[in-house]
Amino acid sequence: MANQVTQKQKSGSRKSKALSGGTKAPDFTLHSTPDQFVSLSEFQGQPVVLAFYPADWSPVCGDEMALFNEVLPEFQNLGAELVGISVDGAWCHAAFARDRKLHFPLLADFEPKGAVARQYGVYRDGDGVSERALFVIDEEGFIHWSYVSPLGVNPGANGVLSALEDLENKKTAKNHNTQRS
């Protein structure tokens, strides 16, 4: 199937150095459009999903972003926002987002190239692109969950949804305990 994977591809994925759960998410500021910026810190107080992907226009990335675009209402129901990040420039992102009718921002990790991907441990030296990696960051700015997919495999949205539901459940339990004490 178009986005699916053989065992060989799976085992071919390299050891990930991606930041893992419990780590403070490094803050960043990147272009979201040619004349606007987005900082991670702006999302403080709500969960945010960072979807790193190798390249605008490539077949798997296009499918992954199209899928996330359709699931976006479910992310938002769980109080979360979604941003895509690649090393493409802001003008390229603008054309890609318009073509695919994406309803979430694409951030340009363009100059210095891949700096944010490096901070998150998901830059592919030699290839010059980021891994296909997902981070779910909690409302206090800590990484709750992360996942690096083999480059040619669209990871789907189930992992992100489960992580967001986990955060939601923890929040509910915490509020419940606060009320009791």
Residue 143 in contact with other proteins, rule: CB under 8 A? yes
CB of 99 to other proteins, least distance (A): 9
Binding letters toward other proteins, positions 161-180, x by CB under 8 A = xxx--x--------------
Binding letters toward other proteins, positions 22-61, x by CB under 8 A = xx--------------------------------------
The residue within the footprint of other proteins, chosen from 12, 14, 17, 20 (CB under 8 A), is 20
Q: Half-sphere exposure (CA, 13 Å, Cβ side) for 84?
A: 30
Identify whether 92 is a catalytic site residue: no
The residue within the footprint of other proteins, chosen from 70, 95, 173, 174 (CB under 8 A), is 70
Task: Considering the candidates 25, 61, 117, 167, report the single residue annotated as catalytic.
Answer: 61
Give the interface with other proteins as residue ranges (CB under 8 A): 1-6, 20-23, 63-64, 66-67, 69-71, 74, 100-103, 138, 142-147, 153-159, 161-163, 166
Active-site positions?
61
